[in-house]
Structure formats: C-alpha cells, structure tokens
Amino acid sequence: MSNWTPEDDKLVTLAKGARSRVQAESGAALRDETGRTYASAQVSVGHLVLSAVEVVVAQAVASGSTGIEAIVLCAGSGFSPSDIALVKEFAGTGVPLHHVTDAGDITDSYLT
C-alpha cells in the first residue's frame, strides 16, 4: 500500500512511546481530520480490557474529533475485527490502518 506519508512516521513514534511507557502489548496513534494526534496503549485492569485502538479512538472522540485521517498500531497481533469495525463506524471507509513492529517496520497496511 502506498498511502504512507511522512506524518505517519510521527504516528509510529507516538504509538511506540505510548506502548513503552506502560509496557503494554500494543500502542496506537491516530491523526484526526484536523491533523491533531492522539496516542494510547492497550488497557487491562481487572476484567476491563480495551485495545489500544479502542482507547485512542475514544480519546479522539472525547476531544471533539469527527474523523480519522490515519491510525498506526505498534506491536501486538494487528488490528482486530472489532478495531476495524470501530474505525469504520466512527470515520467510515478509506481510513489507512498501518500495523508496525516495535522497530517501526510496517507489517500490514490497508484501508477500512
């Protein structure tokens, strides 16, 4: 997929940082329709388990975002079907999703 932009490099840095701050399995970063960025990690507290994508989308929504330009997921096993469904429900189709290793190498990219 050739939708990678220099701005996506920033998302990789943010996702990696969010992941490593709390030693989570995965971290995610999102750029919204205005260019604002958000980053978060997977959350697991007792019976509450939220993916990094769920948390970062919730942050964007809570901040007033109305769309997503791109999402990068660092480490973990990739985007789950529920992550993809959430992105589609909030932002529609055509959102680039990039899964990268902790080293920042792209393992998978596609559009919602």
* The overall pTM is greater than 0.75: yes
Written as one letter, the residue type at 87 is: V
- The answer to whether the beta carbons of residues 28 and 18 sit under 8 Å apart is yes
What's the pLDDT tens digit per position in 27-54? 999 999 999 999 999 999 999 999 999 9
- The answer to whether the beta carbons of residues 51 and 26 sit under 8 Å apart is yes
What tokens appear for 106 in the block?
A: 């792209």
SS3 28: strand
Q: Hey, what domains does the chain have and what are their CATH numbers? A: 6-111 (3.40.140.10)
More confident residue, 15 or 4: 15
Residue 2 scores a pLDDT above 80: no
Confidence of residue 80 (pLDDT cuts 50, 70, 90): very high
Exposure on the CB side of residue 89, measured as CA atoms within 13 A:
10
- Alpha carbon distance 40, 99 (integer Å): 15
